[in-house]
Every structure is written in C-alpha cells, then in structure tokens.
Amino acid sequence: MRRSGRPDGILVKNLPDPVRNFLNRKKQLAADINSFSDKVQADASAAARAQAVAPTYAGTDPDTIDAQNNQRAQANLMTLKVKEEQAELAKMKNAMSDLDAETAAQTTVMAFPTGQFFGGFEIWNCVGMP
C-alpha cells in the first residue's frame, strides 16, 4: 500500500476469458512491434551502410564488373527489404491503434472489492461483463 493508505492498484480475479484474451493479444502485439521495430532499425542501418560502400563505377575487368554489380544489387535488395519491413511495421501499428480504440469496450467488467490485498494491490472480484 502507498503511504496515503490507498493501494498501488488492483488485481482482478475471475476475469472473463474474452477480456484476458484481448489483453494478451494487445500485450503480444506490443512486444512484436517493439522487437520488429528493433529489427527494422538494424536492417535500415545495414542497408544504409551497404548503399554507402557499393561501387558506383564499373571497372574494366569482367570479374570486377560482376562483383561490383552484385554488390550494388545486394545493397538495393537490402533497401527494398527495409521498405517492405517498414510497411509491415506500419500495419502492425495500425492494428495496435485499432485494438487501442476497442480497449474500453472489450475490457469493461463489473467487479467489487474483496477487502483483501496482495503485494500492495487491492483484490477485486469480477462478476461479469456489462
């Protein structure tokens, strides 16, 4: 409990499965967005480095020309992959926005305090959804 005598928060027991599933979906999507954002950022940095060192001139030796063309093609493919990943990340963020908009409707429950506490949290008992 806080010094003011108020609990740090509440724990709700007997939460309905649809509410629990919705909250788990949001939690998983948030974790997916965070990890995918890190991947996109790392891939974007790698693509930028590949673009920076890719040759912009052609040598005269056929093997050198092939190697330079392959290096440029690889850098271009990396850049394309990043654009695709950014589009996918935007879709994931839009899905999270949709879930955020639904949160109140999907998680509103009727619950009552039990008078019990656990770890500074007041325990409430869910009796259903409105």
**pLDDT tens for each residue of 48-82:** 999 999 988 777 888 888 889 999 999 999 999 99
Question: What residues contact 111, with CB distance under 8 A and at least 6 apart?
Answer: 12, 124, 125, 126, 127
**How high is the pLDDT of residue 60?**
83
Whether residue 93 contacts residue 33, with contact meaning beta carbons closer than 8 Å, is answered with yes
Tokens, residue 49: 């480095």
**How high is the pLDDT of residue 44?**
98
Q: What is the DSSP letter of 7?
A: -
113 SS3 class: strand
Write out pLDDT tens, residues 93-119: 999 999 999 999 999 999 999 999 998
pTM (2 decimals)? 0.79
Domain range list for the chain: 1-16+109-130, 33-108
**How high is the pLDDT of residue 5?**
66
